[in-house]
Structure 1
């Protein structure tokens, strides 16, 4: 069977489903999928073609017809858009080479249309697992935007797929927004906690650990107290990556309890004193943190052994002459030679 022949069958199947839907709209997705199977079996009488009426519940696509497959989509809304399968395609039927969507739209004027899967995928949403979104007659496919064909994309390892997905997602961010789904390399895994937590209620050891991570990713915290938005990325990191809410983000770095825990009268910038106390924790964080985080917040991947020096280089620029972090922290051992 050629693609042209199969698509002609799809025209017939969609037409029969459309006639039925306009007489009596389908009430549920399972009912619609069952009817798609029945009409597909009636319509395609080619030798060797058997329609499985008891497939694996997570199989992709839903209906296997030799080298072709139909993924069934259904909505009671008046739109041609729906959430589709996971980008993992864990239960992909490998014998299927060409996937199509049969979409039943019961909202408004009930209708049924089909589309080629690759051309219908127009977005990917990242909830607990990235999932495609499909739309019949999409003006531009996600794969066209990402610069890779669906067949090339689907056989990639997950961390390779995420490189494309993160690039796409980043291109859609507005000012002040950050990605939260950052897994990008083999062995890197992160799960956002189900419960939102308050920073003030965390154990002291966790406060210190998270503060160190935020400091590394956000060297702009050393800016003048008059600088606007210097704590925005800190708040976003805590919330999107750790599920932690910070009422007063500034207090994490400049409050007396963190910059002057001994309550002495030695003076100096609280931010500088706080960072001096955090040196050992910063080095630990630099060694353990995921590379994808630095690429997201710094815009470049930096090896663990170079992260402190790179952080100091960035912090020196943000400090703008008020003080020089590279000379006052870590006993100056990461400082760049003058003139470098």
Structure 2
């Protein structure tokens, strides 16, 4: 990567001017729901051209059409890839490891990422300095984190340069070797071919398979909380089918194999729930373990439901709309399953929902 000279006609100066123009544009726009993808690429392109007026880059900025990489080429040799995120962090999926659509002649490559949640922000950094891990969707892709130290990039971890990896005849081999060297007991690597279009979510690296019992207790508790959040049917009084979606999610999204998903939520028998007082339809004022587990995970559920995006929820929740409140939607689903359980009295059902709403700070 060439060192950027700090002068008026430097690429750094061009990026800084464009960055400020884009931020002002976002802050003055009433709605930004329609500016992701190719539309935001055009916005970046337009402001780069404006920033380039009177510099050596004027008239030398091109928007690359079609499925090419990167999205914008400057002076025929500098590439700029455009990304957006609507989460509170700076993480998103990057491009394919194979880079089969890369434009010829690119010497230096940068990444611009816009955070489309208030306060809006823009970061522009060298491409290779933002790639932290490799994940698998329909093909191996880089995981972008705009906030990492360049020393924590995936290339420093693998001890191979970005250019050496992308130019190698088999870029997958060093990737597999790296992740294989990091395996612990109970873990293995998995692989899917490019024709498998199954959607997988972002994890630290989803090349690694792991058995549930080998996870640390805090990780098991976290996935249990996400289970209740994404799959509220877990609280229903139906039989084994209520665990099906959670079980598939563990494997396909988190690469976790669990031999007995039911035990995650029900093992341990009945017990007390302080928030529900002393009245119960169960003997000796005890409640079923799955309800106890739900209450024990409400703090994590509250935190996650406030941070996750519409896309996260809509992937799991049927009929969920952008205008819906995530908390209210989830509560309504929990209430529906509680109401269908004849083990509880009407008063107890009302108390359960009341206390859950209180825990989630819903008035």
Q: What TM-score do you get using the length of structure 1 for normalisation?
A: 0.50
Report the counterpart of residue 148 of structure 1 in structure 2. Answer: 160
Secondary structure of the structure 2 residue equivalent to 1:33: helix
Report the counterpart of residue 23 of structure 1 in structure 2. Answer: 28
Corresponding pairs, count: 191
Q: Structure 1 segments of 4 or more deviating over 6 A?
A: 189-194
Report the counterpart of residue 136 of structure 1 in structure 2. Answer: 146
Report the counterpart of residue 41 of structure 1 in structure 2. Answer: 49
Report the counterpart of residue 103 of structure 1 in structure 2. Answer: 113
CA distance in 1: counterparts of 2:111 and 2:197, whole angstroms:
35
Instruction: Structure 2: state its 5+ residue gaps.
Output: 199-250, 261-363
CA separation of 1:156/1:20 partners in 2, compared to 1, >3 Å: closer, same or farther?
same
In the alignment, is residue 165 of structure 1 matched against residue 175 of structure 2? yes
CA separation of 1:47/1:115 partners in 2, compared to 1, >3 Å: closer, same or farther?
closer
In the alignment, is residue 57 of structure 1 matched against residue 66 of structure 2? yes
CA distance in 1: counterparts of 2:166 and 2:45, whole angstroms:
25
CA distance in 2: counterparts of 1:64 and 1:193, whole angstroms:
29
In the alignment, is residue 70 of structure 1 matched against residue 80 of structure 2? yes
Alpha-carbon shift at residue 85 of structure 1 (Å): 0.6
Q: Contact (CA 8 Å) 2:138, 2:197: kept in 1 or not?
A: no
Deviation readout 1:33-77 (Å, 9 max, x if unpaired) = 211000111112426743334x33211110001211110011122
Secondary structure of the structure 2 residue equivalent to 1:52: strand
**Structural mapping, 1:189-228, within 5 Å:** none
Q: What TM-score do you get using the length of structure 2 for normalisation?
A: 0.47
**Structural mapping, 1:1-340, within 5 Å:** 3-4=4-5, 5-24=10-29, 26-27=32-33, 28-29=35-36, 30-45=38-53, 46=56, 49-53=59-63, 55-66=64-75, 67-139=77-149, 140-157=152-169, 159=170, 161-181=171-191
Deviation readout 1:70-126 (Å, 9 max, x if unpaired) = 100111222211101101101101211111111100124111111110111111112
RMSD of equivalent CA atoms: 3.1
Q: Contact (CA 8 Å) 2:62, 2:74: kept in 1 or not?
A: no
Instruction: Structure 1: state its 5+ residue gaps.
Output: 183-188, 195-238, 249-340
